[in-house]
Structure 1
Amino acid sequence: MPASTDEITVTRNDDERRYEIHVGDVLAGFTTFRPDSEGRLRFPHTEVDPAFRGRGLAQAVVGEAMADSARRGETVVPHCPVVAKYIREHDVPGLSVVWPDLPHPE
């Protein structure tokens, strides 16, 4: 596993429809998004490589994804439990959220 001093960066990858978190040059995890028919971003899944777990990377990638979505004026629909928990526990200024009726529709 890379040293804890490696730089952590989060980027939006529109081609893959996900926000990615890198530790140094290594992809350590991501949260995916899918635009729906109303232009909202559904967030169905977040994943962190087991080698990087326990470092708060899921919270970091989701946090930046929510902040970036707010800056872009996008509305998010949190289907992923990690995303839903983050939104419930953190204030994200300007974030527009539509809560789903079902926990994980695809």
Structure 2
Amino acid sequence: MSSLVKDNPAKRRFEILVDGALAGFAAYDQPQGEVLVFTHTVVDPRYRDMGVGSELVRRALDHVRARGGRAVPRCSFVAAFIDRHPEYATLVIDEP
């Protein structure tokens, strides 16, 4: 299984493509400077329980980190991911 995560600023979301098909996305509000507020994560039922959601969030947060940005995990899936992976906790800020 080959996956690609990309930012789609026009739709304000990170998308994960698996073997070329859209498998899910992590939506965010209009960026406020370098802060992204993650609001909702969706994974197509065909790709659930395969680690697709975790891969999506991991790569999205890596993208935020690489830009020197910060994140607000309003989405419960993103918040739970960060709780399980404390190496991302330094990216988290309170609501801007």
Instruction: Give the TM-score range, shorter chain.
Output: 0.7 to 0.9
Deviation digits for residues 14-41 of structure 1 (CA, Å, limit 9, x no counterpart):
1111111111110000001113556521
| Residue matched to 1:43 | 38
Q: Which runs of 4+ in 1 moved over 6 A?
A: none
| Residue matched to 2:66 | 71
* Count of matched residue positions in the alignment of Structure 1 and Structure 2: 94
Tell me if 1:92 matches 2:88.
yes
Change (3 A) 1:26 1:79: same
Q: Percent identity?
A: 34
Change (3 A) 1:51 1:72: same
Larger radius of gyration: 1
- Ranges in structure 2 where 5+ consecutive residues have no aligned partner: none
Q: TM-score, normalised by structure 2?
A: 0.87
Structural RMSD (CA)? 1.8
- Ranges in structure 1 where 5+ consecutive residues have no aligned partner: 1-5, 101-106
Deviation digits for residues 25-74 of structure 1 (CA, Å, limit 9, x no counterpart):
10000001113556521100000001111101110000101111011011
| Residue matched to 2:3 | 8
1:75 positional shift: 1.3
